[in-house]
Amino acid sequence: MNSKECALLIMHCQNDIVHPDGLYSHSGVYKQIEANRTLNIISDLADFCRKAGMLVIYINNEFKEGYPELGEANLPICIDSRNANAFLAGTWGAANPEIIQPKEKDLVIKNVNTSAFSYTNLDQILRAKNIRHLYLTGCATNFVVDSTARYGAELGYQIHVVEDCCESFTEEMHQFEIQYIIPKFGTVTSSTKIKTEL
């Protein structure tokens, strides 16, 4: 595998979702992350990918003050973010936890939807760099990972979902996505397998 044709996406791993004091810590995602040490695994994989020459891209949900990006016809999950005052630019909740904060050469793309491609310049960046393989990590498996896998596959990218670097609200929801949905749009892999292949 040519690492220059690959990118690791770390999606929505932000304090409001993955930290015990985050606005959505009650959702179950933090409990799963804590039980499986998911952020540690993502951090280790990101360091490995950087050393191998792979581009690391953060996809962070982020809104401006007053949520001008959202009208009344947006997805209910986005409206929920506005109602909860979540993911505001410049706030602690919108930031990545210290263990997986972006490094100097990483890219950070702001998004306001459930797909990393929707209303962002991700596709333009990937094509400019001739990247064909996307390795998806993040929270939640059945939201941003699912949406990005579907959208990316439709755009012609080879999708690889890193199972031990994704979490959902419950283990059952995560496993359903991994077993029945993701294989329709790409392949399921693991951090260990990626290290072997690279």
Helices of type H across 118-180: 122-128, 146-154, 171-176
Mean pLDDT value across residues 22-41:
94
User: How does 33-46 read in b/e, with b if 16+ C-beta sit within 10 Å?
Assistant: beebebbebbbebb
Average confidence (pLDDT) over 56-61:
98
Rounded CA separation 186/153 (Å): 7
Q: Where are the alpha helices (DSSP H) in 129-190?
A: 146-154, 171-176
Q: How confident is the model at residue 26 (pLDDT cuts 50, 70, 90)?
A: confident
Q: Does pLDDT of 70 surpass 90?
A: no
Classify residue 21 by its DSSP letter.
T
Query: What number is the average pLDDT over the span 178-192?
Result: 98
What is the structure's pLDDT at 93? Answer: 95
158-181 average pLDDT score: 97
Assess whether pLDDT exceeds 80 at residue 42.
yes
Q: 150: which 2 tokens?
A: 């579907």
- Check whether 157 has a pLDDT greater than 80: yes
Fold of 3-197: Rossmann fold (3.40.50)
Residues 27-33, mean pLDDT to the nearest whole number: 94
Tell me: pLDDT of 50 over 80.
yes
Structure confidence at residue 128 (pLDDT): 98
pLDDT digits over 104-146, tens only? 999 999 999 899 999 999 999 999 999 999 999 999 999 999 9
Q: Is the pLDDT of residue 82 over 90?
A: no
Please state which of the ranges 4-8, 71-75, 121-125, 163-167 shows the lowest mean pLDDT.
Answer: 71-75
**Which band of pLDDT confidence, cut at 50, 70 and 90, is reported for residue 75?**
low
